[in-house]
Amino acid sequence: MLSHLTLAHFRNISSATLSPSEGINLILGENGSGKTSILEALHLLAMGRSFRSRHLKNIVQLEYSQFTLFARSSEMTPVGLLYDIQSGLQIRLNNAPLKKLSDLAVNTPLQFISANCHQFFELGPKFRRKMIDWGMFHVEHKFNYHWQTYKKALLQKNAALKNKKSRNETELWNQYLIKHGLIITDYREAYLDKLVSVFEPLFHKLCPSLSDCKFTVKYNKGWSKEKSLAEILDENYERDRIIGYSRNGPHSADWTLRINDASAEEMLSRGQQKLFYLGLCMAQIIILLNEKDVKNTVLLIDDLSSELDWNHQITVIDTLRNLPVQSFITSTNSELASLINTDKEKVFHVKQGEMIAS
């Protein structure tokens, strides 16, 4: 968990310093005041990338050439990030240059819940895969090795297909795709079973009107369940050669949860879809606690009030209080401050890039 955060020349924020609580941190302000920029800074420090912009030069405050971010965890581990338009990005973790981005992710397990998270069902398989792969990265530490090895083999095979290499040369990579792809699939299926068992009672609390509903996992492995991955790769060689890439495998997997064996997307309102996604993220926090005793998870929630009525906002706040998570929540609704216990939680106000703690 973070005990200190400093920003300089980051979007519309010239300079800001926060000393957040270990629990709920509510960030209030009007649209365009800089609330989401605080979440973006936290995301950059934990993931090494922005959720708003692919090009970091767009984040630098106008008339400046660089921005800096610095944070310190409750264990006193420092993380510093500097981006200069000319020299690029530099990241230091625990006073040493960062070797790989995965080290950042291990240091601070962080999830981001956007204002449009109710679009979980519309954002596509890649978005849903990334969600559970985040959980497995932290729970199953061998998962990242298998996933990275699989991706490298897939890149090599796709390059061979695109360049019209011989079948023998192209299919050389199948052995790696099959070996690591099956392990990835086993990890995902086991993790999804855990996720639904933790998610269901949690969602019932978040959305009492659906407390009688039962949830089941629908998982598409990325290839026909009637055949093995080896058979599918062999059968689809000609098609893949024509299109120039390999379509089947865990890189094409998808999943969702069904409610009473019906489509959740069709049954849930927009507000209920937001609670659905919030519940999934909270369930992953609980799994991390149960499986690895991880208590330093950070949860970023942008615009909590969007799509949720007052009673459901209260329920979300109360549920977060009982989880081992440090949360940063933005909203334009100043009435949310009345829900914050100022002894253990904090309220920050942002106005035109300036931050004030209540």
Residue ranges for the binding site for ATP? 29-36
Q: Residues 6 or more apart from 281 whose CB is under 8 A from it? A: 111, 113, 299
Q: Which residues are annotated as a binding site?
A: 29-36
> Among candidates 26, 3, 31, 21, which has minimal Cα distance to 12?
31
- Strand positions, DSSP E, the chain: 2-10, 13-18, 24-28, 66-73, 78-84, 88-93, 96-97, 110-113, 215-220, 254-259, 262-263, 297-301, 325-331, 346-351, 354-357
Distance CA 165, CA 157 (A): 9
Give, in order, the Cα–Cα distances in Å from 293 to each of 77, 106, 139, 272, 296: 19, 13, 10, 30, 9
Q: Residues 6 or more apart from 94 whose CB is under 8 A from it? A: 77, 78, 79
> Among candidates 300, 347, 290, which has minimal Cα distance to 324?
290
Distance CA 182, CA 56 (A): 36
Residue identified by tokens 């969600």 is 131
